[in-house]
């Protein structure tokens, strides 16, 4: 069993500061946690271009020692982890009802039909 936990943080480029660090088993699990946050309903999702994940070092669970790297190690940018593109509504809310989604789809089909008309075969 590995007795180390990675120490990770998120950098907010607008605040020009690192957020409170968190511990995770390894880089993969830290990235998974960050990905979940980026695709949730908070600021990481709304302003993904502002956030990046960094590794700071390791925490030795048996000794309680913190071993930090000379500088934070960049792992990924939040914007690269977004899996669902959301489009804001007029009031700033990004949630869409099924009716609104269907209306958007119908509108896009109509626009596409105007831009790319189907040629009739002879």
Query: What mean pLDDT is predicted for residues 5-20?
Result: 97
Position 110 confidence tier, pLDDT thresholds 50, 70, 90: low
Q: What is the pLDDT of residue 2?
A: 81
Q: pLDDT by residue (tens digit) across 17-65?
A: 999 999 999 999 999 999 999 999 999 999 999 999 999 999 999 999 9
What does the domain layout of the chain look like in residue ranges? 4-81
Handedness of CA 48, 51, 52, 54 (dihedral sign): negative
What pTM does this model have?
0.68
> What gap in Å lies between CA 47 and CA 79, rounded to an integer?
8
Per-residue HEC secondary structure of 70-98 comes to EEEEEEEEHHHHCCCCCCCCCCCCCCCCH
């Amino acid at each position: 069993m590995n007795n180390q936990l990675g120490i990770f943080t998120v950098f907010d480029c607008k605040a020009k500061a690192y957020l409170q660090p968190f511990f995770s088993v390894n880089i993969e699990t830290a990235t998974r946690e960050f990905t979940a946050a980026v695709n949730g309903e908070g600021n990481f999702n709304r302003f993904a271009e502002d956030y990046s994940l960094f590794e700071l070092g390791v925490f030795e669970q048996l000794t309680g020692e913190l071993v930090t790297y000379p500088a934070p190690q960049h792992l990924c940018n939040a914007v690269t982890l977004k899996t669902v593109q959301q489009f804001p509504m007029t009031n700033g809310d990004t949630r869409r009802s099924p009716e609104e989604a269907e209306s958007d789809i119908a509108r896009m089909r109509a626009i596409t039909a105007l831009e790319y008309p189907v040629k009739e075969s002879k």
